[in-house]
A = this chain, B = another copy of it.
Amino acid sequence: MTYCVAMRLADGLVFASDSRTNAGFDQISTFRKMHVFEKPGERELVLLSAGNLATSQSVISLLERRAGTDVHNVLSTGSMFETAEIVGQTMREVIRRDNPDGKLGHVDFSCSLILGGQIRGEEPRLFNIYPEGNFIEATEETPFFQVGESKYGKPILDRVINYRTPLNRAYQCALISFDSTMKSNLSVGMPIDVAIYQRDALKPCFTERVEENSIYFHELRQQWHEGIQVLFNQLEPPELAPR
């Protein structure tokens, strides 16, 4: 399983992804699910992936191999929209390659991607690319996307994140969202890769790999867990009588 979240905020973009991959509970590995494509001064792109690892790795390899060639590619597009089109097309191409006549219906070749970034001349933009290769774009009203095991970590995002949330606060909220997810699904696991893009910077993101032994993350988890219990205990206890 996988959990990835990305946010498009007034100040820039925040990305976070776990790094556990499993094919059955006895085959667990660590793979980076965050990939960066960049041309400093001109564009900064981040791609997060969930789903079939063979598919997503092939998509990334093809995007990387074509970047910088004469083919229309993620480093030559004129807009983030066009970039999302290329990523979606590449995903369809890989799935067609691996399941040409659609007969392997019992195997799930699909993956879900989040693409975010900025190309000079445009605002930062964020896209959720579906397994079919089509996509939707984040707006001020819907500033975040999740892929993979998204439900456990959604309530805290819903309650805290809005378009005006500062980048460091959004990063902190993403870590709490990961904490809630990892408590419930063992197949989402550390380390957590984080990338933060400052609006209009057009240079490499601030990146961090939050490891199992991170003191900051350990303290944050504990503070949050205890804070929730204190908050709960402060509520007026209900009487068990009809109201």
Contact = CB atoms under 8 A, between A and B. Distances in A.
Interface of A: 151-156, 158-160, 166-169, 171-173, 176, 180, 183-184, 196, 206, 208, 214-216, 220, 223-225, 227-229, 231-232, 234-235, 237-243
A171 B232 CA distance: 12
A204 B102 CA distance: 56
A183 B169 contact: no
A240 B196 contact: yes
B180 A155 contact: yes
B239 A160 contact: no
Given A152-B155, A184-B154, A172 B228 contact: no
Contacts of A180: 155
B152 A238 contact: no
Contacts of A243: 208, 214-216
A235 B224 contact: yes
A27 to B, nearest CB: 24
A174 to B, nearest CB: 11
Contact of A235 (B167, B223, B242): B223
